[in-house]
Amino acid sequence: MLGLPNWKAKYDPKGLTPHPRDAPTRKRPSIVSVPLPHQPATATTLVVASSSAVYTLANTSPTASMASTGSVMLATSSAQLEMDSGAVKKNTTLICAPVMAGTVKEMVTQLDEAKSSGAELVEIRLDSLKNFSPHEDLKTLIKASALPTLFTYRPKWEGGQYDGDDKSRLDTLRLAMELGADYVDVELQVAFEFNASIQGSKPEKCKVIVSSHNYENTPSIEDLGNLVARIQAAGADIVKIATTALDITDVARMFHITVHSQVPVIGIVMGERGLISRVLCAKFGGFLTFGTLESGAVSAPGQPTIKDLLDLYNFRSIGPDTKVFGIIGKPVGHSKSPLLYNQAFKSAGFNGVFLHLLVDDVASFLQTYSSTDFAGFSCTIPHKEAAVKCCDEVDPVAKSIGAVNCIIRRQSDAKLFGYNTDYVGAISAIEDGLRDSHNGSSAGASPLNGKLFVVIGAGGAGKALAYGAKEKGARVVIANRTYDRARELAETIGGDALSLADLENFQPEDGMVLANTTSIGMQPKIDETPIPKHALKHYSLVFDAVYTPKMTRLLREAEECGATIVSGMEMFIGQAYGQYERFTGLPAPKELFRKIMSKY
């Protein structure tokens, strides 16, 4: 179990005292738990588990000045701010827009865009300018910005573009302070020198961010703690640490540092696996997060757009008591689940946020994020089968299928419960497609009864559809690249098996149903298909679980061959009904779901 390391006592012992009790026992002591204490706005104590003892960390009022080095940047449910729209902002985390351009004129345009996009701060990256006249250009940029300004002049040795001498660079940052900058960013390597040079002359309004960037990995929690101590010792008003996520579990260490710090902290974990650090910093008390003006125009790997922060993740509605949900997968960036659930959460007034979670090892992920704050997950390729073993209890249907696509963490004891809603969504959509093609006949019996139902894929989704089709009376055939896996699933459900290579010539009868449950044809490989077009003429209905794009090559060619087609979007929406109700305890907003997804 990881908790607050001993680094705090090394440097800043204020408010840190050993607790007389031993560390509390947990059911799974090896789990890294990332809970967020729920506390009133008055001064209180935060109990932090350590490997050797339990410490109490004094916490000042969250309404104290965010820029003060004595403040704890830990938001509480009462630390709410009024937003321009009149709605309540549930966190104090700022959205900062990086401004990067080759000319000052372009930067001025971006400064206007940052304000209108909803940013609260701009980071002006001076190292991106091709031609730079410090005195004149700094005055122009400061005057042109309607938002507080953060000036960064990043050298190449710290991942930036500046390739000159440090004296000129630091002189420029000092000049920015004199001319009215609100913040300057100085690298830890030169921070002692810089802060010594401004001693006694530092403008009162300007705060110094001392930063450290690690483009290789995320250090241990003890090393991160020692790094915070070094940055504090260098004279930082605000600590900034940016590391790189090799695994999504790396971010948990940054959350620990952020939530338990006594100074304002910007804790960013770069890369797609670190995305949650850029969103959940609002929950764990981070000073700011970076959001780009447009997709791809990033100043560091993994930055979301301001639009995504505000509109996709409802960033300003995230507070310390917000429950975290997400879709576990690899790949996962294509998923529309965050779009669907976050809009539904907002519409219902449900205090939750739903994230993309790029997970390599599902067991490690669930063990690391073991707090009840991480309340539920959708599970997609390739983790649906492995997730079964991670759950404390599994629904009988999901157990029969051998795969789960929905995991709920029970709030009373943090136990994990696994469910499968895939088969209901997919089978219902396929049945509806068959009924429509036969003018709605046989309302009492399933139109799948007696049909030859060919499933491509023997993974989690393949198991779900094979199980569902068999339950409806279909004769099931499993086709898979690896024949042994196809045979194993076929034996389990009572069907037949063949290799995917043999599917092209498999045509025992006409009117069959085909269901692709693999990722073949999914973005970005949209030109791929699991079966040649000429073989599709023997199928009356073709279903594709892939829904990005909505019209896959498989579906397009099947339609050209005269088959009824059913998009994976139908399965996606259908399975989401059950998951939403388990996540929230509320009825699924079916009309809203269809309205949201009709745009894609």
C-alpha span between 185 and 389 (Å, rounded): 46
Q: Residue 541 is encoded by which pair of tokens?
A: 């209905």
Q: Which residue has the tokens 């104090």?
A: 92
Give me the sheet containing 265-270, strands edge to edge: 265-270, 238-244, 207-213, 183-187, 149-152, 121-125, 94-99, 288-290
Tell me the Ramachandran region of residue 473: left when phi exceeds 0, alpha when psi lies from -120 to 50, beta otherwise. Answer: left
The residue from 182, 250, 422, 544 that is catalytic is 422
Q: Which of 8, 89, 90, 240 is the catalytic position?
A: 240
Place of tokens 């399933």: 446
CB atoms within 10 A of CB 99: 29
Between the alpha carbon of residue 323 and those of residues 344, 345, 351, 414, 520, the distances in Å are 14, 11, 6, 13, 34
> How many Cα neighbours within 13 Å face the side chain of 507?
12
For residue 438, indicate whether it is catalytic.
no
3-state secondary structure of 293: coil
Catalytic, 240? Answer yes
CA nearest to 3, candidates 355, 451, 19, 107: 19
Catalytic residue among 202, 283, 323, 384: 384
- CA-wise closest residue to 356 among 260, 245, 213, 219: 245
| Whether the Cβ atoms of residue 173 and residue 211 lie closer than 8 Å to each other | no
Sheet arrangement for strand 416-419:
352-358, 323-329, 374-379, 406-409, 416-419, 393-394
What's the CA gap between 478 and 458, in Å, rounded? 7
Torsion angle defined by CA atoms of residues 59, 62, 65 and 70, in that order, rounded to the nearest 10 degrees = 10
Any residues with CB less than 8 A from the CB of 449 and at least 6 apart, and which? 472, 473, 474
Q: 119: closest CA among 291, 285, 301, 311?
A: 291
Catalytic annotation on 27? no
SS3 call for 442 = coil
Question: Which token pair is 560?
Answer: 């050209």
Omega prior to 5 cis, within 30 of 0: no
CA dihedral 335, 340, 343, 347 (to 10 degrees): -160
Is 171 among the residues known to form the active site? no
Distance of CA 142 to the CA centre of its chain: 34
Q: CA 330, 588, 404 angle in degrees (round to 5)? A: 35
Give the active site residue among 8, 207, 213, 538.
Answer: 213
Residue type, 318: I
Q: Which amino acid makes up residue 395?
A: D
Peptide bond between residue 508 and the one before it cis (omega within 30 degrees of 0): no
Secondary structure string (H, E, C) spanning 218-262: CCCHHHHHHHHHHHHHCCCCEEEEEEECCCCCHHHHHHHHHHHCC
Query: CA-CA distance, 288 to 302, in Å (whole number)?
Result: 15
**What letter does residue 562 receive in the DSSP assignment?**
T
Greatest C-alpha distance within the chain = 88
Q: Residues with catalytic annotation?
A: 213, 240, 384, 422
